[in-house]
Amino acid sequence: MMATDAIVTALQQAVAEIASTALAVEVTAGSYEPQRSQLTSDYTAVISYSGALDGSFCLSGSLAAVALLASALLAEESPRDAMDAEMQDAFSELCNMMAGGVQSRLEATLGTIHMSTPVLIAGPNHQIFGDPSSSCLNHQFTIAGQLFFVEIFYKADS
């Protein structure tokens, strides 16, 4: 059975590593809880896991938060006001990098984990719902005062 603490640790380490190496910005870890987030978002990038971990990784946030994240990955001094194709691709790549960081940290104890390519969902004030039989961890983070969050849905027997 997958322990929530192992997922939290893997996620915090992965986000901290990406923030310091690829984004060169400060990202602060906030609260987390073992349930689906009640927050809404404007953008969500989703990656599916299979193999030793059956589930998905969702990176979500408001336009302001997502623009900060994508702009940081593109090494832009100030965030853009809109999400064009380049910004959408950068946000999806961040999801891929963070999900990969979690994957590599959990594979040591679980075994081989496969990942899909990212899918981007855009629309104001949406929520993501996973399989009702799945467990969920949601973890909040901030970048320059803007909240973003990660939800990891997984089968408890993974």
Instruction: Give me the CATH number covering residue 136.
Output: 3.40.1550.10
Torsion angle (degrees, nearest 10) of CA 90, 72, 103, 13: -170
- What whole-number distance in Å separates Cα of residue 74 and Cα of residue 40? 25
Our count of domains for the chain comes to 1
Task: Give backbone dihedrals phi and psi of 11, rounded to 5 degrees, phi first.
Answer: -65, -50
Pick out the chain residues at pLDDT < 70: 1-2, 156-158
pLDDT digits (tens, 9 = 90+) for 2-34: 678 899 999 999 999 999 999 988 999 999 998
Note the pLDDT of residue 1.
46
- What whole-number distance in Å separates Cα of residue 91 and Cα of residue 146? 15
Half-sphere exposure of 96 (CA within 13 A, CB side): 13
Please give the angle made by the CA atoms of 43, 105 and 130, to the nearest 5 degrees: 40
Note the pLDDT of residue 4.
80
Q: Give pTM, 2 decimals.
A: 0.94
- Angle between helices 85-110 and 63-73 in degrees, nearest 10: 80
Domain that holds residue 108: 4-154
